[in-house]
Chain A
Amino acid sequence: MTVPINEPQTVAASTPGEAWSFEDHFGTVEALRQRLNGVLKGKTDVIEHVLVCLLSRGHLLLEDRPGLGKTTLAKALAEGIGGRFARLQCTPDLLPSDITGFSLFNQKTREFEFRSGPVFSDILLADEINRATPRTQSALLEAMAERQVTVDALRYPLSDEFFVIATQNPHDQHGTYPLPEAQLDRFAMKLSVGYPGDNHELAMLAEAIAPPPCEVPSPVFSPRQLRDLQQFVEGVAVKETVQTYLIQLAKATRSHADISLGISPRGLLTWQRAAQASAFLQRRSFVTPDDVQDVAEPVLLVRLAIESDDATRVVRSIMESVPVP
């Protein structure tokens, strides 16, 4: 098993102390949005949610069949950000140390040296995460939640921009280990890419004939700029009425007959951050209930234990049961 790690690429970083305006931030994101739309055609909604996830400092779970562009999307995102990219192919024999890294005794120095694992990257693609054993899955818990790992009682901080994109196949369940609730709650969203439309598939096929020489695209912004962007999004205003609306929705998830586990306070915080990011992507500096509703489905589907075959309908019924402020 190989664990490739992309070295960080250099981009023109913003001058320290330089105050970016809303339009500057938005322009940067717009460039990333266009690049992703060019890579994954006809999936603007998915890309919007991926950007929301990225800007809200959440982690993303892509659940779909193989070959629908999950890895392509993750790689394009890593290239756009310009950070270090790591890909982890999860299998049942994957060990926690394969993710976090391990200490190796150096004969020369007569000391233990820490060999970092793939979590020490800016974007980590954990492919088919549900094929890893629960023990290995839980190794990601600390990394995703606290952006640090602890090996041999030593704490190693991860990148501030650490972003996990995990994938899983919902249909082939043989030899898989469903993610526990604690793990699921660390993800901000669960998305399904879905098949592209006919036109987009036609365009994809046309581009595959005599493709231009593969060039490594230049990053749109640096990891530091991403951090600035994330901090800017955290400052998007949320009025108390909207927060009350969020709480009402959370209560509705906890009392719904078809939901055995409602949203947690941590999930609620994630929901608010996602709504802030959605408002930013809508070129607004404040959150509206529409933003809350727009991100509700991917935020709730990953963390609610819905005892119904039609989870989307359940989420919609929750949205319809609470009046907007």
Chain B
Amino acid sequence: MTLQMTQRERRRYRYRPKLSAASDWRLSERLPVVLALLAVLALLVAKRGAEWARGEIAGAWLIEVVVVTLAHGWISREAQRRERCLKLAFPLIALGMLGPVLVDPLMRSALGRGQTLDGLLLDGLGFATMGLAVFAFHSALRRLCCAGALFLTVFSCCLSSDPFVLAIVVVFAVLGVWWLMGSYWEGLQGKLAAESHEPLPRRWLFGLPAIVAAVVLLIPWNGRESLLTLWGFLPSSGGTGDFDEFARSGVNDGDLLVGAKDNARSFGPVESEIFMDSEQPSLYDVFNDTYGEPVRTKKQERAVALPAELLREAEQRMAESRTVGREFSTVRQPKAAKEKPVVTDIDGRALLHIKGRVPLHLRLELYDLFDGHEWLPMPDEKNPPLLSLRTIGEKPWIGFPQPTVMEVFAAEESHALKIHRIDTNRLPLPIGASRVHIDRIDRPDFFAITQPTIVRMTHERLPPQLVLHFVSRAQDESRLSNDFKYLSPSGDVRMLAVPVARRAAAVVRTPTSEPSERPDVGAWSTESVAREWTAGIASGWPQVRAIVNRLRDDYVLDKDAVIPADCDDPVGHFLFTAKRGPDFLFATSAALLLRSLGYPTRMVSGFYANPENYDARRQHTAVLPEDVHFWPEVYVGAATWVTIEPTPGFEVLGPPPTWWQIAWSAIVASAVFVVRHAVACSIFVIAATLSLTFRRRIAERVASWAWWLGVRRESRQLVLNTARLLERRGQLVGLARPRHCTPARWLRRLEPRSPDLVSLAQLVEWAEFAPTSSPLPIEPQSKEVCRRAIQRWTVQQLQQEVSRCPVHG
């Protein structure tokens, strides 16, 4: 050391070992970045090694290297920037962690590509580790970064046996040991403090988990169905009854056990148990249970005077459909005579379960002839179209003819039926169904077309516990509304002439009046009523909709309504006298009115899958015995029929809603809720706004009240309460006490000339730091000093002080 050395040079010379340590320090900051990038590379190779070329992996990794290196270098260059950017660390790392999970649903919907949950979590951990590497200048985040990198590397090593991954692991181990040694030596030099002096981002550290926890805890408050939304965060191919094609494997035994293919121990509607025999009640028992027994009229003279060719045709049809079809009378006996089944358990009473969107009209029987009392079933197809076998996704699907006019139907969607007890061999399918799948059934001759578009199995009845998948298209009414060119008033199918011809019969059978015993509906014609209801409305779908809406709006669904047994004209009685009745009268009325206007219409019986019976836990909709239903279908041309629903309370399934429609419906539902609870909502909004605006003043006022309530407390607590209240007031006017400033010093700085504040500062020092045995500095006046300080230094006074001397702020 020469005498010519400056002080600074001397100091540098003297601290040479420390400068060396300082350079190690910088290295120890950068090594975690290298470790994190190595871990990400290992993960990339382990996850994508089989799919991507080496060049693609290298490209992806280089992008990550550039981003992380630049961000780390830029942030850690300046101390002030470090402190500023550190506030963003937790949000960015959290975003990186959750990013893949949030993006994956979009990828699935947009590109049809998804990842397994563990893959998503690994990606999230990779992004979080890179985020931690960016902030590696912070000692705690640096250690977290190394821990994350170690986990990723170990996991990648377990995922893949690629030699490149092993090479990365070796390099990682060497660098990791180097980093540990450096950290150890720094610890010896006292450079790694046990605690950092940098403030913890408490707002993010505690606030965010608190919000998440609050939301999770509030979900059960909203009911059981909301609670079920928590279920399913772990995709599964089995165990929970759910199936996720992006799941890696099932919970526990997965598909095989659930499907009872491996080790069947239970009996249920699963695909391995098809064709098991069971004694089940008949479908028509269900009809009679629901609507009552049909009235068998003895007055044969009131029979419909059918033309001879129709009579013959009808008899023939009856003979043909003896095993599969049966007429349905609109005049039924009261149900009171028959005991209702005891409602104990929905699951136990369900005839079938549906998985998929509801409501759904499941068709079983078509009727075309109506004689005023009874609907007669349509004849079977004389030349039924051939069914085809298609293999989709290694599964056999039986396809049947599609409706010709596809424009009125939306995109395909799939449903599953689990049939428990229906004594029919017809498949309960909606009108837009195009193909069905039963596990392992790859023979089209197991199925046949009976009535048009009604598919049956060639067995005597549907096997109990049958699981049936079908693909269908929901009808899109908006397309009908816009363009109804298919609907021709004259019709272009000859077979529809029969129902149209019945119109004359119906009109001929206008009821005669017997005023004393039964209601007199007077002379009426379906056509005149229909014309009246559709006056001024363009022909086509608008007229159909007008009639349907009229019935839905002006008539009341009453399943227990009874038509007098001797009533000749149940439809007239329903339309003009009772104005209430069961669903088959709505459907019959709509069908007759539409026919009278020339729209080919037919009646359908089957099941209505009611959304109210949706079981959110099992994600199935139960179809119960009382869900038997009647509705009409109207012809829109080119062998295409659409469902219409004149019965109030029943809806036709529309196309799947778009995101926009879902959002809009949510908005509308919210708006409806707000309107219905206008007073409560207004009070809440006003109270919330006022509370938010004046939150600090309210808090200060509450604190002031609390202070006055506690004014009789012992001196030490009173002094501390006084200081806290003044601090709160100061905070309100922008004079918050810095965290490194003691309350006493803060009070003295507030107004050094104020004797009250100076005395209070002394008291605060005593209250906070004096031993318990230490006497009060100004005993007699202590309470008075506190009282004067509270009264003198109000929020307004502090505000004036700030305005008078802005340096305070």
Binding site for B on A (CB under 8 A): 170, 173-175, 178, 237, 239, 241-242, 248, 251-252, 254-257, 260-262, 284-290, 293, 305, 307, 318-325
A324 with B11: CB separation less than 8 A: no
B197 with A173: CB separation less than 8 A: no
Residue B780 CB within 8 A of the other chain:
no
CA distance A293 to B193 in the complex (A): 21
The list of the 4 closest CB pairs from A to B, nearest first, reads A255-B193, A323-B739, A321-B197, A252-B197
Residue B3 CB within 8 A of the other chain:
yes
Question: Across the interface, which residues of B come within 8 angstroms of A290, CB to CB?
Answer: 742, 744-745, 765
A288 with B740: CB separation less than 8 A: no
Given the known interface contacts A255-B197, A256-B197, A286-B774, the answer about A241 and B769 at a Cβ–Cβ threshold of 8 Å is: yes
Interface string of B769-782 (1 = CB under 8 A from A): 11100100000000
A289 with B10: CB separation less than 8 A: no
What distance in Å separates the Cβ of B263 from its nearest Cβ neighbour in chain A?
Answer: 61
Of the stretches B14-22, B232-240, B252-260, B692-700, the one at the interface is B14-22
B739 with A260: CB separation less than 8 A: no
Binding site for A on B (CB under 8 A): 3-7, 10-11, 14-15, 18-19, 21-22, 79, 139, 190-199, 738-742, 744-745, 765-766, 768-771, 774
CA distance A58 to B190 in the complex (A): 25
- A selection of 29 A-B contacts at a CB cut-off of 8 Å is A170-B7, A173-B10, A178-B14, A237-B770, A237-B774, A239-B768, A239-B769, A239-B770, A241-B768, A242-B769, A254-B191, A254-B193, A255-B192, A255-B195, A257-B79, A260-B19, A261-B190, A285-B770, A285-B774, A286-B766, A286-B771, A286-B774, A288-B744, A288-B768, A288-B769, A289-B742, A289-B769, A290-B745, A320-B740
Question: Across the interface, which residues of B come within 8 angstroms of A251, CB to CB?
Answer: 193-195, 197
Question: Across the interface, which residues of B come within 8 angstroms of A285, CB to CB?
Answer: 770, 774
What distance in Å separates the Cβ of B737 from its nearest Cβ neighbour in chain A?
Answer: 9
CA distance A250 to B5 in the complex (A): 32
CA distance A260 to B12 in the complex (A): 11
CA distance A255 to B195 in the complex (A): 8
Question: Across the interface, which residues of A come within 8 angstroms of B10, CB to CB?
Answer: 173, 178
CA distance A210 to B68 in the complex (A): 75
Given the known interface contacts A255-B193, A321-B197, the answer about A175 and B3 at a Cβ–Cβ threshold of 8 Å is: yes
Q: Which residue on chain B has the smallest CB distance to residue A130?
A: B7
Q: Which residue on chain B has the smallest CB distance to residue A256?
A: B197
Q: A255-B193, A290-B742, A323-B739 are in contact. List 16 more A-B contacts (CB 8 A).
A: A175-B3, A248-B197, A254-B190, A255-B192, A255-B196, A260-B15, A260-B19, A260-B21, A285-B774, A288-B744, A288-B768, A289-B769, A307-B22, A319-B740, A320-B740, A321-B199
A324 with B195: CB separation less than 8 A: no
From B7, B15, B744, A173 is in contact (CB under 8 Å) with B7
CA distance A241 to B770 in the complex (A): 11
For A248, A255, A285, A286, which residue has the most chain B Cβ atoms within 10 angstroms?
Answer: A255
Given the known interface contacts A237-B770, A290-B745, the answer about A178 and B11 at a Cβ–Cβ threshold of 8 Å is: yes
What distance in Å separates the Cβ of B789 from its nearest Cβ neighbour in chain A?
Answer: 19
A174 with B4: CB separation less than 8 A: yes
Question: Across the interface, which residues of B come within 8 angstroms of A175, CB to CB?
Answer: 3
For B79, B198, B742, which residue has the most chain A Cβ atoms within 10 angstroms?
Answer: B742
B22 with A260: CB separation less than 8 A: yes
CA distance A319 to B191 in the complex (A): 18
CA distance A173 to B765 in the complex (A): 45
Q: Which residue on chain A has the smallest CB distance to residue B25?
A: A257
A261 with B193: CB separation less than 8 A: no
A260 with B18: CB separation less than 8 A: yes
Question: Across the interface, which residues of B come within 8 angstroms of A252, CB to CB?
Answer: 193, 197
A318 with B197: CB separation less than 8 A: yes
Question: Across the interface, which residues of A come within 8 angstroms of B742, CB to CB?
Answer: 288-290, 324
For B6, B193, B765, B769, which residue has the most chain A Cβ atoms within 10 angstroms?
Answer: B769
Question: Across the interface, which residues of A come within 8 angstroms of B740, CB to CB?
Answer: 293, 319-324
CA distance A322 to B22 in the complex (A): 24
CA distance A262 to B191 in the complex (A): 8
Q: Which residue on chain A has the smallest CB distance to residue B79?
A: A257
What distance in Å separates the Cβ of A74 from its nearest Cβ neighbour in chain B?
Answer: 24
Question: Across the interface, which residues of B come within 8 angstroms of A237, CB to CB?
Answer: 770-771, 774
Question: Across the interface, which residues of B come within 8 angstroms of A239, CB to CB?
Answer: 768-771
CA distance A305 to B189 in the complex (A): 13
A174 with B771: CB separation less than 8 A: no
CA distance A20 to B18 in the complex (A): 50
CA distance A234 to B567 in the complex (A): 113
Question: Across the interface, which residues of B come within 8 angstroms of A305, CB to CB?
Answer: 15, 18
What distance in Å separates the Cβ of A235 from its nearest Cβ neighbour in chain B?
Answer: 11
Q: Which residue on chain A has the smallest CB distance to residue B740?
A: A320
CA distance A26 to B4 in the complex (A): 49
For B18, B741, B774, which residue has the most chain A Cβ atoms within 10 angstroms?
Answer: B741
Question: Across the interface, which residues of B come within 8 angstroms of A173, CB to CB?
Answer: 5-7, 10
Question: Across the interface, which residues of B come within 8 angstroms of A318, CB to CB?
Answer: 197
B769 with A286: CB separation less than 8 A: yes
Q: Which residue on chain A has the smallest CB distance to residue B762?
A: A284
CA distance A260 to B14 in the complex (A): 12
Question: Across the interface, which residues of A come within 8 angstroms of B191, CB to CB?
Answer: 254-255
From B6, B22, B197, B765, A288 is in contact (CB under 8 Å) with B765
A262 with B744: CB separation less than 8 A: no
What distance in Å separates the Cβ of A150 from its nearest Cβ neighbour in chain B?
Answer: 27
Question: Across the interface, which residues of B come within 8 angstroms of A256, CB to CB?
Answer: 197
CA distance A260 to B139 in the complex (A): 16
CA distance A260 to B18 in the complex (A): 7
What distance in Å separates the Cβ of A296 from its nearest Cβ neighbour in chain B?
Answer: 11
Given the known interface contacts A170-B7, A239-B769, A288-B769, the answer about A320 and B774 at a Cβ–Cβ threshold of 8 Å is: no
Q: Which residue on chain B has the smallest CB distance to residue A259?
A: B191
Question: Across the interface, which residues of B come within 8 angstroms of A262, CB to CB?
Answer: 190
CA distance A255 to B197 in the complex (A): 8
Question: Across the interface, which residues of B come within 8 angstroms of A260, CB to CB?
Answer: 15, 18-19, 21-22
CA distance A284 to B775 in the complex (A): 12
CA distance A318 to B22 in the complex (A): 19
Given the known interface contacts A318-B197, A320-B738, the answer about A287 and B6 at a Cβ–Cβ threshold of 8 Å is: no
CA distance A325 to B740 in the complex (A): 9
Question: Across the interface, which residues of A come within 8 angstroms of B766, CB to CB?
Answer: 286
What distance in Å separates the Cβ of B494 from its nearest Cβ neighbour in chain A?
Answer: 92
CA distance A3 to B560 in the complex (A): 125
A321 with B745: CB separation less than 8 A: no
B198 with A321: CB separation less than 8 A: yes
CA distance A324 to B15 in the complex (A): 32
From A178, A261, A284, A325, B18 is in contact (CB under 8 Å) with A261
Question: Across the interface, which residues of A come within 8 angstroms of B11, CB to CB?
Answer: 178
Q: Which residue on chain B has the smallest CB distance to residue A305?
A: B15
What distance in Å separates the Cβ of A302 from its nearest Cβ neighbour in chain B?
Answer: 14
B197 with A307: CB separation less than 8 A: no
What distance in Å separates the Cβ of B451 from its nearest Cβ neighbour in chain A?
Answer: 83
Q: Which residue on chain A has the smallest CB distance to residue B12?
A: A307
Q: Which residue on chain B has the smallest CB distance to residue A171?
A: B7
What distance in Å separates the Cβ of A208 from its nearest Cβ neighbour in chain B?
Answer: 34
CA distance A262 to B4 in the complex (A): 29
CA distance A325 to B766 in the complex (A): 14
What distance in Å separates the Cβ of A305 from its nearest Cβ neighbour in chain B?
Answer: 6
Question: Across the interface, which residues of B come within 8 angstroms of A257, CB to CB?
Answer: 79
B770 with A286: CB separation less than 8 A: yes
CA distance A243 to B740 in the complex (A): 15
Q: Which residue on chain B has the smallest CB distance to residue A282?
A: B765
Question: Across the interface, which residues of B come within 8 angstroms of A319, CB to CB?
Answer: 740
Question: Across the interface, which residues of A come within 8 angstroms of B739, CB to CB?
Answer: 323-324
What distance in Å separates the Cβ of B201 from its nearest Cβ neighbour in chain A?
Answer: 15
Question: Across the interface, which residues of B come within 8 angstroms of A242, CB to CB?
Answer: 769
CA distance A318 to B197 in the complex (A): 8
Q: Which residue on chain B has the smallest CB distance to residue A287?
A: B769
Question: Across the interface, which residues of A come within 8 angstroms of B194, CB to CB?
Answer: 251
CA distance A237 to B775 in the complex (A): 13
What distance in Å separates the Cβ of A133 from its nearest Cβ neighbour in chain B?
Answer: 12
CA distance A288 to B768 in the complex (A): 8
